[in-house]
Amino acid sequence: MKDSILKAAIVASPKPRWRDVAQTLSYRLAHGLARLDAGCKAQQQAVTDQRVFAKAHNNGDQVAELKRAVRNIEAHCTEADLFKGQQQWVAELKEEVNERLLELQTVRVSGKPDKIANQQTKREEARIRLQAAQNEREALSKLLTP
């Protein structure tokens, strides 16, 4: 699902929404679906890998969309923009983790173990996404410093 967001962000817009790209990369990192590569070259390689897969499965429409995505990355991607978008994404995820904590505290008052467990799971998932986003931000910051 997140990969479709990445594709939609890159294909639908003349200037891709890099926050969506960063979110997708963070999601993939959190779930072990991507290496901890960062930057425009890594994005270009990831899209190229998807294109090879689509080509192998005779999905011509997806191949064309991914070709366009590579061109957009080449034309518009900068590490500075990626870093800025990733910083914003980390801030949003921090907010989500705090919201999940408040929800968990509210549910604990109810005393229902199933709801408490559910909220704990949601909070942990948000924390994992935050950690992955922070790792990605660190990798991007290393690209910016010589």
What is residue 48's predicted lDDT score, i.e. its pLDDT? 92
- From the list 145, 136, 123, 13, the residue with the least C-alpha distance to 73 is 13
pTM comes to 0.65
pLDDT number for residue 32: 46
Pairwise CA distance, residues 129 & 30, whole Å: 6
C-alpha count within 13 angstroms, C-beta hemisphere, residue 135: 17
Contact 95, 101 (CB under 8 A): no
Mean pLDDT by groups of 10 residues along the chain of 146 residues: 43 46 54 60 92 92 92 91 94 97 95 94 96 93 82
Count of Cβ atoms closer than 10 Å to residue 51 Cβ: 19
Burial class (CB in 10 A: 0-12, 13-18, 19+), 145: exposed
Q: Under a CB-based contact definition with an 8 Å cutoff, are residues 11 and 22 in contact?
A: no
